[in-house]
Amino acid sequence: MGTATATSTGKSDIAFALLAALLLLGLNAYAGFAQLANPAGDNDSLLQLVEVRDLMAGQGWFDLHQYRMGLEGGFVMHWSRLLDAPLALAILAVSALTGSTALAEQVVQIVWPTLQFFLAIFFIIRAARASAGPHAVLPAAVVGGAALYYIGIFSPGALDHHNVQLMLTLASLVLLLEAPTHRPAAFVAGICATLTLAIGMESAPYAGALGAVVALLFFARGDGERLIARDFGLGVAGVSALVFVTTVPVSSWGQAQCDTFSVVQFAVTGLGGAGLAVIASLRVANATVARRLISLGLLALALALVVVLLFPQCLAAPYAHLDPRLQQMWLGYIEEAQSIVQLVSDDPARAVARFATPLVAIVLMALHFSHGCWRRQDSLVGALLVVAVLVSAWEVRGSTFSIAFAVIPLSAWIAKWRQRAEASPSSGSVLRMAAAWLISVNAIWSGAAQAASNAFETGTPAKDTSIDAPCNSKASFAALGAMAPTTVLAISNLGSPILAFTGHRVFAGPYHRNVAGNLLVFDALLGSAADAKAIVESHHVGLVALCRGNTESRLFAAKAPDGFLAGLMRGSVPDWLEPVAETRGAPLELYRVRPNG
């Protein structure tokens, strides 16, 4: 591809991505950016904003404590400062222009996810072009835009790490697809793959899949992939060392953490990246297929021994050591942590919407493989797609990635039928093309599955989703925010909003490291009023917050019908509490602890 042609296609792809991003921005603007006023339970994004504020207020770069959540003194969060930094810089820059930090936060909450959407759809378009040519660009823009909108991680206010991780993974994929014709691409791909891992461990399967495919392509094709493997390995090793020294304090260099970037991840990425680069650079190690097999096999063995011998605790399931009560009462009800079996049982319509397009894409790639048409591009795209589907079968959160990856083979499928319809126009070819378009859109599957579910349900009242909405409204916390800062006893779903919208502190929040704080709330809300009083007094609680419509509140009340929270929901207020008059009948009811107890 000539320079002029590459420049032209690049501008075209940017234009398509920009148009999709502007459409998303327009839709959100037309709705009045409703997500900012009603965060809809996006706890992670709210807490991300709190952490950015803490950093801007002077909390240390290496100090990851969330001091306003958990028991006295807080607890250490597992999130990376790598995301806090650009968000804080953006807020400071907009604040300097507008003179208002509050306005700057709102601007960043709109612009940041829109920017991630633009980059993600751009990379999807580039991947589709690299896989199936220019005819796949329009389908990638349309189907990709619809898919990214559907998964919901690019809505206004979405500041948590999932959209950045998806964007960086797509960037790494595109760079590897283009690496044979763009020399620095593989090096930057290694950087992107490692950064997405450093931001959060959820993307470890995808970063690992890309690294494995790079190694396998090098093994199979030798010199054709040697420089790509070398540059990718250098990018991985170099940025992993940089991330380690800039995000992990010297005092913690020897501490293994399985849920965040630490010596464990540095050892694996550093050794894996450097080892791959060395093998690809030394002819004695890569001159023949046998030598590449031995060299890469020894590298894989070394990586396995490092993990098994030095960090065996990280081989366990992520939540294997979580307190049983938290597993039962908290983890089991987090939607994104559900397995496909549980999702099919609880919400089959949502299961269809989440898994249909990825499974169709896998079938298409399997047919492509069976016809003997497998290419380098298919190895990269197929590996990511299969891994993402396997992850989503274990935890639904993986479908966020699998839906996005599926767009690439689906766009190629649509492009094939577009070309056939153009070459030999007929009602049959047009219908097949139309069917390919419809089958590739998640919203179609979602609507059809929901319609089918409603048709087969008899005598079951429709779920009133509006009952949760008031609890998620920013306005609901106005009265609480006007009160003098104290410790608030509340369910975990209210933890992040209370921190984001008020100056109070809380015990509970839906985070696996906050074990002590969450268990304390269990004891208070599920126990008797006397148990709750003892906890309130010993931990200097000033307010109790109740949101009757929240799913977690109803779950606790059903679990312990004689407990403190259940009694409060029935209107049984113990004498050591007094209702806050102005919140009586409001979505968020407040009860003040009487000074005399």
DSSP state of 472: G
Query: pLDDT at residue 93 above 60?
Result: yes
Is 425 found in the same domain as 405? yes
pLDDT of 468 reads: 47
**333 and 184 in a common domain:** no
Can you give the residue range of the structural domain that contains 20?
Answer: 3-318
**How far is the C-alpha of 517 from the C-alpha of 415, rounded, in Å?**
53
Same domain, yes or no: 129 and 40: yes
Two tokens at 105? 């936060």
Domain count, the chain: 3
Let me know whether 269 and 323 are in one domain. Answer: no
User: Are residue 51 and residue 126 in the same domain, yes or no?
Assistant: yes
For 132, the token pair is 């199936």
Q: Report pLDDT for 137.
A: 95
Last residue of a domain, one of 302, 318, 334: 318
Q: pLDDT band for 459, please (50, 70, 90 cuts).
A: very low
Comparing 11-20, 268-277, 341-350, which segment has the lowest mean pLDDT?
Answer: 341-350
Q: Find, among 193, 213, 131, 159, the residue nearest to 406 by Cα.
A: 131
Tokens 């990825």 locate to 358
Residue 315, class by beta-carbon neighbours within 10 Å (0-12 exposed, 13-18 middle, 19+ buried)?
Answer: exposed
pLDDT > 90? residue 529: yes
**Mean pLDDT for the stretch of residues 423-448:** 87
Residue 447 lies in a domain: yes
Residue 300 lies in a domain: yes
- Give the pLDDT of residue 461: 46
Token reading at 112: 């940041």
Stretch 543-563: mean pLDDT: 91
**101-108: average pLDDT:** 96
Domain match, 122 and 237 both: yes
Residue where a domain stops, chosen among 318, 334, 365: 318
In a domain, 22, yes or no: yes
Question: What pLDDT is attached to residue 2?
Answer: 56
Is 459 part of a structural domain of the chain?
Answer: no
Total residues belonging to the chain: 597
Reading phi first (left if > 0) and then psi (alpha if -120 to 50, else beta), residue 337 is in alpha
On average, the pLDDT of the chain sits at 90
Look at residues 318, 343, 376 and tell me which one is the last residue of a structural domain: 318
AA letter at 416: K
The stretch 523-529 carries a mean pLDDT of 95
Q: What is the pLDDT of residue 70?
A: 96
**170 shares a domain with 148:** yes
Q: Does some domain include residue 461?
A: no
Work out the pLDDT band at 336, boundaries 50, 70, 90. Answer: low
Residue 321, pLDDT above cutoff 80 = no
Main-chain phi, psi angles of 317, to 5 degrees: -60, 150
Clarify whether residues 39 and 96 are in a common domain: yes
Q: What is the DSSP letter of 77?
A: -
Same structural domain for residues 296 and 216? yes
Q: Does 462 reside within a domain?
A: no
CA distances from 54 to 41, 47, 59, 65, 259 (A): 21, 10, 6, 10, 22
Lowest mean pLDDT across 47-51, 147-151, 447-451: 447-451
Q: Which pLDDT belongs to residue 242?
A: 97
The tokens describing 193, both together, are: 């793959």
Higher pLDDT, 373 or 232: 232
| Pair (480, 343) in one structural domain | no
pLDDT at position 464 over 80 = no
Say which residue, 461 or 9, is predicted with more confidence.
9
Indicate if 197 and 118 belong to the same structural domain: yes
The fraction of the chain above a pLDDT of 90, given in percent, is: 74
For residues 183 and 57, state if they share a domain.
Answer: yes
Reading the block at residue 461, the tokens are: 């009242």
* CA pair distance 259, 244, nearest whole angstrom: 14
H or E element that contains 505:
strand 505-506
d(CA 560, CA 571): 15
pLDDT at 156: 93
* Residue 190: its H or E element: helix 185-199
